[in-house]
Structure 1
C-alpha cells in the first residue's frame, strides 16, 4: 500500500479535521452560488463535499493523483454536480473556472509557483489552505517534537522543517511570485479532540501521510519508544480525553 492510497486511513488521520477547516475556508471565500469550481488535490473529497453543501455550485471537478483517493471521493460524495478525475497538479484541465481551490496539498506539489500560475490562468478566484506544520497543527507537532527528542538524526522528516513556507507570509510570497497582485491571508483554527490515546495514535500506524510513513519505516522497538514519548508529552485528561487544536493558514486572490 502506498503512502497516499487509502481513503479510510487518511480520513482517520487528518481528513476528519480537514473537513472542519474546509467549512471555515469556503465561508471565508464567500463566492456566489452557481459557479464552476475546480478542487486541486481533492484527496478524499473533504473540500469538494463542503463546497457542494455550503456554496451551491453549478459543478465541482475534483482532481488528485491518487486513484485510491479518487475512488473514495466518488463513493462518499454522491452528488450529480461533482465529478472526479485522476490528475496531478501539473496536468490541470483547461478552464475557465470561477474558483480554483486546493486544500492541504500545496506543500506536496514540487513546483508550487508553477502550479499557482496555472491555477491563475484557468481560475478567476484562486485559494488554498495548508496546515501550520511548524507550530499550530498540534497533533503532528507532538509527534515530531517526540521524534526530535528521541531521534534528532531524523530531523529532516519534520514537516515543520520540510514545509517552512506554510505560514501567512510564506503563502503570500508564493502567490506574489505566481503573479497575483492582491493576496489575502487568514488563520483557521479548529478543535481536534481525541477520546483516548488510542484514538490519537492508531491513525499514525496506517502509513498514510508523512508522519505515519516515517513511523512505519522504524523497527518495532523504535516505534514503541516513539509511542511512549508522544504519550508522555500529550495533555491527557483524567478521563483519557486529549483536547488539541489544529491551525491552518489560508490564502486567496482574484485575478
Structure 2
C-alpha cells in the first residue's frame, strides 16, 4: 500500500510535533475558552493538543495539504473542525478568533509575513498570535547527523543539500521578534523550546530521518548504491557514538514567538 503524505509525516515528524505542541501551548498561554485557529495544522498535532487542553474552546485547524486532513483526523475531537485553505489567504472574516497560532510552518512559506498578517487580520483586538519554527541551523541534531555526513562524502550536492535545509529566514529569536513587531503586534516575547525524542534503534531513527524532509528523501534516493551505503554507514556511526545499536535520545530545539493584537 502506498504511503500518503500524512503517513510519511507522522513517521518522521509527527512524533516530534506532538511533543513540541505541549510545550508550545504552555508558552502561548491562550484563554481556556473562545475560538482558536491553528494555521498550517498539518496532521493536527497542535490542533488536537489544544482541543484536549481547552475542551470548552472552539478550534479550527486549516492546512493547504488535503492529504493531511484525513477523515479519521476530522472526527477525532468534538470541539475541532478542519478546513482546507491557504495560510496567506485565510477564508475567514476579520476578528473571527481569540487566538491564532502556527507550528512549524513559517520557514516553509515563500511569504511568511503575509501569513502573519492574515493571522492578525482574523484575530480580535487583544487576542494572541503565536508561532514556532524549528531551530534548523543549531537545533536539529537528528537531521544534522545525516547532512554533515552527506556534505563530507558527496562532493558539491551534499553541501548544497545542507544549505537548502538549514538556510531559512528565521534562524534565531531576534528574527522572529522582528517579524512580529513589523506586523504591529504588542508585548512581543520569544523563547527557545527543547524537545527530547527517543529512538528504538538506528533503523527507527533512519526511517524517521528519511521522512523528515522531502529534499533529504530525494537526495538519498538519487545517490549511487555505493555512495548511498557510505552515507548511511557514516550516519549510523554518528548515531551510535561508538556503542552498540539500541535506544538513543536526541534533542531538537524550536524557536517560538508570541504577541498581542493591538486595540
TM-score for the superposition, normalised by structure 2: 0.87
Structure 2 gaps of 5+ residues are: none
User: Is 1:97 aligned with 2:101?
Assistant: no
> Alpha carbons of 1:46 and 1:195: their partners in 2 closer, same or farther (altered >3 Å)?
same
SS of equivalent residue, structure 1 residue 234: helix
CA contact 2:197–2:251 (8 Å) conserved in 1: yes
Give the Cα–Cα distance (whole angstroms) in 1 for the partners of residues 45 and 186 of structure 2: 29
SS for the counterpart of 2:70 is helix
Runs (5+) with no aligned partner, structure 1: none
Aligned residues: 253
Cα deviation, residue 30, structure 1: 1.7
Match of 1:168 in 2: 173
Q: Does 1:136 align with 2:139?
A: yes
Q: Which moved more, 1:212-221 or 1:89-98?
A: 212-221
Report the counterpart of residue 110 of structure 1 in structure 2. 110
Aligned residue number for residue 36 of structure 1? 35
Shift of the 165–10 alpha-carbon distance from structure 1 to 2, 3 Å rule, reads same
Which stretch of structure 1 is more off in the superposition, 191-200 or 227-236? 227-236
| Structure 1 segments (4+ residues) deviating >4 Å | none
Structure-1 residue corresponding to 2:77: 79
| Partner deviation per Cα, 1:20-51 (whole Å, 9 max, x = no partner) | 11001112222221121111110010000100
How far apart, in 2, do the equivalents of 1:46 and 1:169 lie? Answer: 26
Compute the displacement of 1:93 (Å). Answer: 2.2
Following the alignment from structure 1 to structure 2, what is the Cα–Cα distance between the partners of residues 216 and 72? 31
Matching residue of 1:222 = 227
CA separation in 1, counterparts of 2:72 and 2:141? Answer: 26
Q: Distance in 2 between matches of 1:134 and 1:11?
A: 23
5 Å-filtered alignment, 1:1-255, equals: 5-71=4-70, 74=73, 78-95=76-93, 96-123=96-123, 124-154=127-157, 155-158=159-162, 161-206=166-211, 209-236=214-241, 237-238=243-244, 240-255=246-261
**Cα shift readout 1:58-117 (whole Å, capped 9, x = no counterpart):** 211111111111116625x61121111121212212242111111011111110111111
Taking the aligned partners of 1:203 and 1:20, their CA distance within structure 2 comes to 15
* Cα distance, 1:245 vs structure 2: 0.5
Whose radius of gyration is greater, 1 or 2? 2
Select between 162-171 and 121-130 the one with higher mean Cα deviation: 162-171
Distance 2:59 2:192 in 1: 25
The answer as to whether partners of 2:60 and 2:83 remain within 8 angstroms in 1 is yes
TM-score, normalised via structure 1 length: 0.89
Instruction: Tell whether the 8 Å contact from 2:13 to 2:212 is kept in structure 1 after alignment.
Output: no
Q: Is the 8 Å Cα contact of residues 43 and 68 (structure 2) preserved in structure 1?
A: yes
Partner of 2:59, secondary structure, is strand
